[in-house]
Structure 1
């Protein structure tokens, strides 16, 4: 297997002795709090043993799928009927072509950190790597829980819909799994009133809550009932994946009429959709404040662009991109409305469009009122910005316009049990930023203090913020 001792060595991404000291002496040993991901709680509760590296690493990973499609690989080898080994061969063939994409770094970090494979993956060694990794994955030492434990994960939060039973979280709570597994409440399907399956979803919500949802007030009651249920099961976070927030003025009569109209099967107008989403998001956010939750808003994705492939494969299969929605005015009005009622809970904002970076970095400062350290956060580089340049730009902008010392750091936002070296990736980049400033004389050579700030960003700030 080909290798290169200059690539992915102990000082990977650490360009100075100061960066190396910060990483190795301060950042590397910190536990991981992965406060937002899409891992399967069922797989964790059942301590799933994967049949192959394909099942653990390629299935469900639309980052890899997009790269393979770009290279001209047929869908049969991506989401289709090809065998696991055939799919892995195609991914191995793809990897050398991913140079300068974060997939190249992530791929080799994951092979190294989980399996001790330090060579460069390609179609030439695909079969050998497939057999070695799959053989290990089929053992109890590489089960879903063990993969998490190998990465020193103290807490992780999956993401569930209000109708979820949380049965697997309940099982995990009674298990001997050392990592604490919590959940985040994600009610997007109840908010997006203009979606095609809206009424069918509310029918399911009725069944789960054993209630009738014929009026807007009944919808609010049902959602609040589920928030209470999630809270009883240890949930302290929520999450929303929206193109943007609305902040329209509305009356109670308007919202009732809009909801009734949609519940009767009629289409709502764009104006009605905006008013409804404004009302329901305010209700939900006030309820989160009542329960003391942290609310997260992932803003700016333009989803399901390829309708032909959406009809074949469904959502979350690699057909999304960055949107160019206006964000600032409505976001400001929404947060200000909650703050004016003293009902703004801890809030994390994530943007997908990098042109919104400076806006986000300054927006959070409008509502950090001294009541809580870092009450309103600008989240780590998300999705298409979850790469070296994206993370550097996010941290530099936050440093220039806010306090990076209060930043709650990294999360995986992943569906893969092998994605946790992304925390290491982030930490190396973080340490290199501080190290370069020390080398250039822009920061003092005070390793004890800067090391503390690094450890806070890697772990302590999130530990304090979420109180999990």
Structure 2
């Protein structure tokens, strides 16, 4: 009988096996989008348990647990790490066919040497095995063992990027950790906390934002800071592509209306977002950045 998700998992013929084992598997990882916390890399964090590694900030796993009806206390709440891991294990056994099932088991095999299936009954065994192995692992050692050459994190325009700068200046660590410009909050004019966010953008950019022209100036200033730290990629989280054009005066009026605390219409939201996307697209071209549209 073929082993559970063995070394030839998804490799269905000899050509695919040759291409993967002799070529792909030995190539370095260059990851253009991830949610790894740069602080953990800068500080070379050592993890106390597998929950910290797997569930500390993985919104994919959180969403799967919620869809399984798991209470929020076991996802982002005050349950113990062991309890959270148990709920994840019980969720995973119902997720066969979901890529999370594959990813989780491949990680258990490659980093922890566990060849079985994680479920509610095996959770204690896996918990103890992983936690013992983690005693000899850290954020940087995991990256080195994975043959990582470069990763791009996910960063808001108001972020100070101090951990990226610290990593860049650390001569003992040769893996590149670059910021990625994720300006969703600066564009999401319909959100209830948008005015508060613009106030924060004003503060970090040192530009008083009272008009759309001010918004563009502040955004460009933050882009240039990101560029200095090594950013080469933008990333926009989108539910749809906004495209309703409007002239500059109309967009400015919409922006000022929202800053005044008034609600805007759906058409006005689309007009504003269209203007933002067109503007930042031009700036990306000027800076030589790639523009990722993340659906």
Distance (Å, rounded) in 2 between the aligned partners of 1:91 and 1:251: 50
Deviation at 1:71, TM superposition (A): 4.0
**Which position in structure 1 is the counterpart of 2:45?**
48
2:261 aligned with 1:261, yes or no?
A: no
* Native 8 Å contact 2:4 2:115 kept in 1: no
Q: TM-score, normalised by structure 2?
A: 0.94
Q: Which moved more, 1:224-233 or 1:144-153?
A: 144-153
What does 1:9-408 align with in structure 2 at a 5 Å threshold?
Answer: 9-137=6-134, 139=135, 141-175=136-170, 176-299=172-295
Deviation at 1:72, TM superposition (A): 4.2
**Which position in structure 2 is the counterpart of 1:349?**
none
Distance (Å, rounded) in 2 between the aligned partners of 1:68 and 1:260: 40
Q: TM-score, normalised by structure 1?
A: 0.60
* Native 8 Å contact 2:30 2:151 kept in 1: yes
Q: In 2 relative to 1, CA 18–38 (structure 1 residues): closer, same or farther, beyond 3 Å?
A: same
Distance (Å, rounded) in 2 between the aligned partners of 1:53 and 1:132: 9
Deviation at 1:51, TM superposition (A): 1.4
- Unmatched 5+ residue regions in structure 2? none
Deviation at 1:5, TM superposition (A): 4.7
Distance (Å, rounded) in 2 between the aligned partners of 1:246 and 1:63: 25
Deviation at 1:70, TM superposition (A): 4.2
Deviation at 1:193, TM superposition (A): 1.4
Deviation by residue 1:115-143 (Cα, 9 ceiling, x = unmatched):
11112223333222212211222x3x411
Report how many aligned residue pairs link the two structures.
294
RMSD of aligned C-alpha atoms?
1.7
Distance (Å, rounded) in 2 between the aligned partners of 1:68 and 1:282: 37
* Native 8 Å contact 2:149 2:175 kept in 1: yes
Distance (Å, rounded) in 2 between the aligned partners of 1:281 and 1:96: 41
Give the SS at the match of 1:97: coil
Distance (Å, rounded) in 1 between the aligned partners of 2:93 and 2:103: 13
Give the SS at the match of 2:180: strand
Distance (Å, rounded) in 2 between the aligned partners of 1:95 and 1:45: 31
Distance (Å, rounded) in 1 between the aligned partners of 2:255 and 2:73: 42
Distance (Å, rounded) in 2 between the aligned partners of 1:93 and 1:256: 51
Distance (Å, rounded) in 2 between the aligned partners of 1:76 and 1:264: 37
Distance (Å, rounded) in 2 between the aligned partners of 1:198 and 1:70: 28
